[in-house]
């Protein structure tokens, strides 16, 4: 078993444990956790096997949550840990340490969707808990609009950046009445547009691809990527803030 396989399996086991009351907090902490295997040359109780320690390294910001769940994590690791002759190690200790991890943690998931994209989007919107940030070249689909409206009434922070074009200006619904909306006109001597199409959910996942939020898109051949890798989500969040800043500067210059 590799270090990446161990942390990925651990995360999946926590996800599937519906009895865990603080599951969301623990999962967030595990996204900023690495596992190291400290293998020794000391023979263990099994023939031709050696002892190894598992070291759980967590960003200091999340270490208290991990430490609080230490016994729970150890119990899961004991279930995951290979118990077979083909794996040449035996588990000696599980150790927990706060650590300034080098680089960004890449524990996450990625998938590509080609079928029933609209329903997939709607399901992700319905699952959102805190915020939905949208950057979209075209947005005319009233069904998706209605789903956003439901989440707005639940108190979520919803912000939308659109390309400033005639199609977005003549929809059958008024986005500005309910949401923070920023319309971007790309500054160029050519007829360029804000052609991005992505949606950030809770700063934990991003949906991006070719799919515009239009009624016609449901009948096109489109693709949608879903990523929960923190490094990817952070890049899209940074881009959203950059676009928003540019929109505000355009507004202030009028």
**At 154, is the pLDDT very low, low, confident or very high (cuts 50, 70, 90)?**
very high
Strand partners, 253: none
Boundaries of every domain in the chain: 3-98, 110-252
Q: What is the pLDDT of residues 65-123, one digit of tens each?
A: 999 999 999 999 999 999 888 889 999 999 999 988 754 455 667 788 899 999 999 99
What's the pLDDT score for residue 187? 61
Q: What is the pLDDT of residues 229-248, one digit of tens each?
A: 887 888 899 999 999 999 89
What's the pLDDT score for residue 252? 80
CA separation for the pair 227, 233 (Å, rounded): 7
CA separation for the pair 116, 231 (Å, rounded): 27
H or E stretch covering 90: strand 89-98
Fold of 3-98: GMP Synthetase; Chain A, domain 3 (3.30.300)
Angle at 122 between CA 119 and CA 128, to 5 degrees: 145
CA separation for the pair 43, 36 (Å, rounded): 20
133 neighbors 159 (Cβ within 8 angstroms): yes
Average pLDDT estimate for 155-178: 87
CA separation for the pair 213, 136 (Å, rounded): 7
150 neighbors 179 (Cβ within 8 angstroms): no
Residue 191 contacts by C-beta under 8 Å, 6 or more apart in sequence?
Answer: none
Strand partners, 55: 36, 95
Architecture of domain 110-252: 2-Layer Sandwich (3.30)
- Token pair in block for residue 6: 């161990």
**Overall pTM surpassing 0.75 (yes/no):** no
């Amino acid at each position: 078993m590799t270090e990446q396989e161990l942390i990925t399996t651990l995360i999946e086991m926590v996800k599937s444990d519906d009895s865990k009351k603080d599951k969301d907090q623990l999962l967030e902490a595990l996204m900023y956790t690495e596992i190291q295997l400290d293998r020794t040359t000391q023979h263990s109780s099994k023939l031709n096997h050696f002892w190894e320690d598992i070291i759980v390294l967590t960003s200091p910001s999340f270490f208290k949550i991990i430490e609080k769940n230490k016994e729970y994590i150890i119990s899961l690791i004991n279930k995951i840990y290979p118990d077979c002759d083909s794996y040449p190690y035996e588990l000696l200790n599980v150790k927990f340490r706060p650590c300034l991890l080098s680089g960004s943690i890449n524990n996450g998931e990625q998938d590509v969707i080609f079928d029933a994209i609209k329903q997939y989007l709607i399901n992700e919107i319905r699952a959102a808990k805190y915020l939905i940030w949208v950057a979209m070249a075209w947005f005319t689909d009233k069904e998706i609009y209605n789903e956003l409206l439901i989440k707005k009434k639940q108190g979520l922070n919803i912000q939308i950046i659109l390309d400033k074009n005639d199609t977005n200006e003549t929809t059958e619904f008024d986005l500005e009445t309910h949401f923070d909306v920023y319309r971007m006109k790309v500054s160029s001597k050519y007829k360029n547009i804000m052609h991005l199409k992505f949606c950030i959910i809770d700063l934990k996942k991003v949906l991006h691809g070719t799919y515009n939020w239009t009624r016609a898109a449901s009948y096109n051949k489109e693709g949608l990527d879903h990523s929960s890798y923190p490094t990817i989500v952070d890049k899209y969040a940074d881009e959203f803030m950059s676009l928003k800043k540019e929109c505000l500067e355009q507004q202030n210059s009028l």
